[in-house]
Structure 1
């Protein structure tokens, strides 16, 4: 028994020794071999060149400027005088550089474990570096490398579409290895939406190095996948014309083919995206934030406005979808309605009323009472469900980030939002695009294309991405065609008959346009006001927003043009002239071909 016990101890000790020997001689060998490999091989990533963005004609909207970065040899903190001399040499060569900032950056990244040169200047233009390069390159402590910087040739004209790039933060670096290596990322617009395409894919170079990290042999090189370009549907010359046309007014204009291709999308006023590329100054950022017309806000997809009377065509379709035969009967407009025993008057815009009103007249002359009465017969829930089907109060799906949905309210929405019941009077004001109703200009453009064609399209800015054509997206919406045709005829009469609200501005064009004006109030009108002040008599920021939404040609719809002038008063007089100029420009530039013209 004692013998067996001694033998067990002996075998246990030998087992431990054999296991330890295996670990030291075999298993650890792999580890140390790997470690040694890292000490003699260096893998450096090769940054891809960011893809360019062009308009439909090849005009560059986002490009890369060629230049250079400047880096300094690490481990010079132990030689402060030498470090300072090197930095002084760089600052003497380029006086606009900030010595304090350069020293701060160097000290932050210098450590005994870092053997890489430390970048202290991100970008110096090619022309500026050419004269200085021979002198600076004589210093082994200074490393000059080719670098690119994003540049937007059209600046403010394309800012809300193209967006801009900026330095990536820790969260963005952790999410994307390419972003971490490049240090830049698309922050807004298409630069953000298609960042993963535009930035390309990293290449790398594996080199054999000495103990001091000096490369002595190239072992493997894989080039980056870059220059992944994007071509847009945008016509930048149309974009410029519309932008300049707004003048002193603020607002939005969108030109879209009825298949969803966006030719122009202007949010005015705008800003210069080049300010953000290298980091915007506090002064410039404050100026943007304090501007009451909000130039930094992309009103195309982030502007939420009451749609006013532009909603009336969709409202009429919602009535027809919800209650059989409801649009067959006329309404009588005496200038207002009341509800129950209440003395509160829900007024029509016409103080005298419109008399007997059918569907076509309700669209042509924008009679409010017609929609008040019909809405009460249908109810808000049925109305809201249909309007969302028509593209209002829901995201359009455009290829831009962080699009707003807006609001088309119903009973559940109000209960969730305000913990209050829905009232009949709220149905009445919702029927003319007021109250809680909020839509984006792009939603109105998309919904207008539906009215023109019967199809709900997905708006697209990009036409070709890295050589691949962008697929069109469209779905037919089932509506009663007899009502839709009557609505189209009403929209035709808005622009082409003397009682139409846009007749004065859109009747004398080389193509036939159909449309609808709208006025969306930004302040309520007291019941005690018997006679309203004219819009031009109100203080500017109390004036209503002015809408016009249109399509053309009337018989063969190809284009949608919508214009919103903030605090413009009346759609026909404020937004109408801008829409007219857009159609004239499109006609003069050949966007309406002869086959379209032969019909008129």
Structure 2
């Protein structure tokens, strides 16, 4: 019995050993094979080159400046390799005196760890011309890698700065959103650079390499090219952009030149800044100076500037009037003073406009007509109609974080302030004042609605790679509004061409245009003031914002030109010459053909 037990025990042990040997030799083979590959085969990501941005005539607006970054091998801070690390840093600073030794050491220490086996970036960018004389010397050193690293450059510096935007170092929040940025290091922060960042940055490639125990490359096993150099072509004309920017010297505000299909030829926000300072980095002193300016140079006023529209809103509000409770024959007797509740509402013309219908009300910008019309129509109908026309919503332009503005209403005020609406606010809203706020791009879009009968989506992109940007329209007008639209167009024509038009005396355009001026107050006028101060008599920051929005040529509209000058005073006076010069330039450049 004992012999049988010993034989069984012996057989069991050998069976267990055989099973274990089988598991280690056969079943675990794939596991240890993968483990071995991890020790000998590395997957190295290849950063893509950011795509260029060009204008409509293929002139480069945002390009990549050729340069290099310097990397050092990991684990050089250990006692064994400490001398090698100090030698590499000494060689670098000797051959490239512009480099900061302390910064190199700091960058290395930040990334070096026992678990990191990749080369570490110690210098992010060295210009091509500075690196080339010493490239061959540095590239031969075993602990050093010289890697191509293009840097974003904006050849036109401050021209269209807010529209183009800039790239800068990616922060942790950016990297969490897009893991590719951990490899690339830079991302679009504002403007077109941000909106189209994922397209422009491309996708990384990958290299599979075999390395030895010392992490030295032995063989390249595979190579996948990065998706890079993705080109973005804009509808913007940089020559036109430069010219209009020169017209805004010393002014604060915004402008847009847009085809009636929504393609933007030029757009600007002022004051602006050199985009390259964000790529290269700026001093705290410069940043504080820009950020504390009362003119807000960091704000893209085209899409983020919120302003009362003033009289620029009257054409569309007039269309709403004559297609709902009123008609084109309805008129008022403007005496310059209208009593509503316990408040006097004044027209801008001291003696009044007397008998005024819709055409005269827009041509001469009669406030009284719109006051009285608003009391008949009511706030709810006004708000609903203006929202249908596109106010209080994003235009859909290909720019990040666009503001929607405010179309005030009873419900809006109740939710925001927990207060009831009063009739005086309805009258204020009818002349584009009070809580009514718009962006300059919204005004341009609404002008296009009058010119074409369609609500377009503004856009900067012309081609995304080889794919043309798809033009988008919305049909928002009723059949009755479409039939009555010629009345509004007639009034806007007279604004710019009739002897009594508010813009006529300020225009020198060789193109026949239609439009609407606007003067948007930034401070209220006290009830006991009998005679208003003239705009030039007010202190600068108390002057009204000046609007002038137009389309041309009048008979066959092709372009929308909208100009807003902060604290410019009267719209025609402040913006009339700028608008005229823009149309004359469009004629000179061949965008508008001579008749």
Tell me how far 1:13 sits from its aligned partner: 11
Q: Which residue of 2 aligns with 1:176?
A: 178
Tell me how far 1:373 sits from its aligned partner: 0.4
Tell me how far 1:115 sits from its aligned partner: 2.4
SS, match of residue 173 in structure 1: helix
Q: What are the within-5 Å matches in structure 2 for residues 86-485 of structure 1?
A: 86-323=88-325, 325-340=326-341, 342=342, 344-479=343-478, 480-485=481-486
User: Deviations along 1:174-222, whole A, 9 cap, x unmatched?
Assistant: 3323222212211111111111111112111111211112121221111
Task: Determine the C-alpha separation between the residues in 1 that align with 2:199 and 2:532.
Answer: 54
2:429 and 2:435 in contact (8 A); partners too: yes
When residues 498 and 114 of structure 1 are mapped into structure 2, their CA distance, relative to the original with a 3 A threshold, is same
SS, match of residue 247 in structure 1: coil
When residues 406 and 14 of structure 1 are mapped into structure 2, their CA distance, relative to the original with a 3 A threshold, is farther
When residues 513 and 74 of structure 1 are mapped into structure 2, their CA distance, relative to the original with a 3 A threshold, is same
Deviates more, 1:456-465 or 1:289-298: 289-298
Q: Which residue of 2 aligns with 1:4?
A: none
Task: Determine the C-alpha separation between the residues in 2 that align with 1:91 and 1:257.
Answer: 54
RMSD: 2.1
2:323 and 2:484 in contact (8 A); partners too: no
User: Deviations along 1:404-458, whole A, 9 cap, x unmatched?
Assistant: 0000111111111100111100000000000000000000000000001100000
Task: Determine the C-alpha separation between the residues in 1 that align with 2:96 and 2:518.
Answer: 56
TM-score, normalising length from structure 2?
Answer: 0.94
Task: Determine the C-alpha separation between the residues in 1 that align with 2:373 and 2:462.
Answer: 42
SS, match of residue 45 in structure 2: strand
1:61 and 1:158 in contact (8 A); partners too: no
Task: Determine the C-alpha separation between the residues in 2 that align with 1:23 and 1:514.
Answer: 87
SS, match of residue 134 in structure 1: helix
Does 1:569 pair with 2:569? yes
2:47 and 2:226 in contact (8 A); partners too: yes
Tell me how far 1:146 sits from its aligned partner: 1.3
User: Deviations along 1:370-396, whole A, 9 cap, x unmatched?
Assistant: 000000111111111111111222100
1:321 and 1:386 in contact (8 A); partners too: no
SS, match of residue 328 in structure 1: coil
Q: Which residue of 2 aligns with 1:504?
A: 505
User: Deviations along 1:344-385, whole A, 9 cap, x unmatched?
Assistant: 201111111110100000000000000000001111111111
SS, match of residue 171 in structure 1: helix
Q: Which residue of 2 aligns with 1:41?
A: 41
SS, match of residue 223 in structure 2: strand
Task: Determine the C-alpha separation between the residues in 2 that align with 1:459 and 1:526.
Answer: 39
User: Deviations along 1:519-541, whole A, 9 cap, x unmatched?
Assistant: 00011110111101110000000
Task: Determine the C-alpha separation between the residues in 1 that align with 2:285 and 2:310.
Answer: 38
Tell me how far 1:24 sits from its aligned partner: 4.9
2:509 and 2:581 in contact (8 A); partners too: no
TM-score, normalising length from structure 1?
Answer: 0.93
SS, match of residue 349 in structure 2: coil
User: Deviations along 1:462-498, whole A, 9 cap, x unmatched?
Assistant: 0000111001001223242343211111111111111
User: Deviations along 1:159-188, whole A, 9 cap, x unmatched?
Assistant: 111111112222322332322221221111
Does 1:558 pair with 2:558? yes
1:326 and 1:374 in contact (8 A); partners too: no
Equivalent pairs, count: 583
Q: Which residue of 2 aligns with 1:490?
A: 491
Q: Which residue of 2 aligns with 1:5?
A: none
Task: Determine the C-alpha separation between the residues in 1 that align with 2:160 and 2:14.
Answer: 77
2:41 and 2:209 in contact (8 A); partners too: yes
SS, match of residue 177 in structure 1: coil
Q: Which residue of 2 aligns with 1:6?
A: none
User: Deviations along 1:17-55, whole A, 9 cap, x unmatched?
Assistant: 999777655554332221111111111112211110000
When residues 23 and 546 of structure 1 are mapped into structure 2, their CA distance, relative to the original with a 3 A threshold, is farther
Task: Determine the C-alpha separation between the residues in 2 that align with 1:98 and 1:510.
Answer: 58
Task: Determine the C-alpha separation between the residues in 2 that align with 1:283 and 1:115.
Answer: 39
When residues 18 and 161 of structure 1 are mapped into structure 2, their CA distance, relative to the original with a 3 A threshold, is farther
When residues 32 and 539 of structure 1 are mapped into structure 2, their CA distance, relative to the original with a 3 A threshold, is same
Task: Determine the C-alpha separation between the residues in 2 that align with 1:443 and 1:131.
Answer: 53
2:254 and 2:268 in contact (8 A); partners too: yes
Task: Determine the C-alpha separation between the residues in 1 that align with 2:459 and 2:264.
Answer: 6
SS, match of residue 563 in structure 1: strand
Structure 1 unaligned blocks of 5 or more: 1-8
User: Deviations along 1:318-338, whole A, 9 cap, x unmatched?
Assistant: 223432x44431111110211
Q: Which residue of 1 aligns with 2:6?
A: none
1:322 and 1:383 in contact (8 A); partners too: no
SS, match of residue 464 in structure 1: strand
Task: Determine the C-alpha separation between the residues in 2 that align with 1:87 and 1:23.
Answer: 51
Q: What are the within-5 Å matches in structure 2 for residues 507-522 of structure 1?
A: 508-522=508-522
